[in-house]
Amino acid sequence: MTYAWFPGCHIPYHLPDYGRESLAVLEILGITPALPEFPCCGYPLRHQSLLASVLSAARGLAVAARAGCGVLTPCKCCFGHLRFVQATLAVRSDLRAAVDAALAPDGLDYDPDTSVTHLLSVLARDPGLAAIRAAVIRPLSGLRVAAHYGCHALRPSTVTRFDDPRSPTIFEGLLAALGATPVSWTLRLECCGQPLAGKNDRLASALAHSKYVSAMEAQARVMATACTYCQMQLGRTGLACETPLAWNREPTRTSSLPAPPLPVVAVSRLAGAAMGLWPLEENMQPVSSGG
């Protein structure tokens, strides 16, 4: 499979390290995506103008098809929305006609068979976990990691076809291949709250806060994301957590909470560290068994 790199709008401006680190990890694994110029995936417009949202996504898919590539994206919102648009155009002939008419002047054609794949799926299945393990030279031994899945890759599962929406394992499998210890935590599949930002900021913050505390209570040392929006939302929560949270409570007999803040990092940061591309930050070093 030849891939075209679809970073979305936010990575180049808000999370450039996520993009650079992901491409560096892919290169180590022998994957060098094409880099065509893409439009927005259309997700931010979805509830303001379905037509504009669909047109933007379809243009991106057509750009990839013209390059002879499938889409590879590190953003689960882009991934979920591109898959949503493919499913929508399969049943909405009116929207398909509008797409064809809009793309024709630019010599573009929408191909419904253009593949859309998220970074996690590529790492786990192409080249696969065996290749990941072979590329690891500094295993993340003893590092307890809470994998945050996010909503848009898992649901609706009939559209995204990413993993089991109720019991996904792809993220934990990748972390284990890097040598880390994935933790089981109560709110791992809950929303990060980002879709509510700007509409109900209090609720958005409460959702992110609850996930942050849940990961800490599971004795995670790091929370890992694989979504632009989730990383921005949960990263802000970690930086803002300087007032009463889990670390201000007395530890229970079954948990020992790490000092604040709990780092929230993109999976590419952990993968690159395990592959020797950069060092693991001091605040993400595993806690020794002796304390």
- CATH number of the domain bearing residue 201: 3.40.50.11810
Would 96 be classed as within a structural domain? yes
Q: Are residues 213 and 155 part of one domain?
A: yes
Give the pLDDT confidence score for residue 257 in this predicted structure.
44
Q: Are residues 270 and 164 part of one domain?
A: yes
Residue 38, pLDDT above cutoff 80: yes
Domain that holds residue 39: 3-117
Would 35 be classed as within a structural domain? yes
User: Cα 25 to chain center, whole Å?
Assistant: 15
Q: Are residues 9 and 140 part of one domain?
A: no
Q: Are residues 132 and 41 part of one domain?
A: no
- Give alpha helix (H) positions in 72-114: 76-91, 93-103
Would 122 be classed as within a structural domain? no
Its pTM stands at 0.90
Q: Are residues 151 and 269 part of one domain?
A: yes
Q: Mind listing the pLDDT tens digit for each residue in 163-186?
A: 999 999 999 999 999 999 999 999
Q: Are residues 235 and 138 part of one domain?
A: yes
Number of structural domains in the chain = 2
Q: Where are the beta strands (DSSP E) in 100-209?
A: 116-118, 144-147, 181-182
Would 289 be classed as within a structural domain? no
CATH number at residue 15: 1.20.1050.140
Give the pLDDT confidence score for residue 282 in this predicted structure.
78
Q: Are residues 160 and 100 part of one domain?
A: no
Query: Which phi and psi angles does 277 have, rounded to 5°?
Result: -80, -30
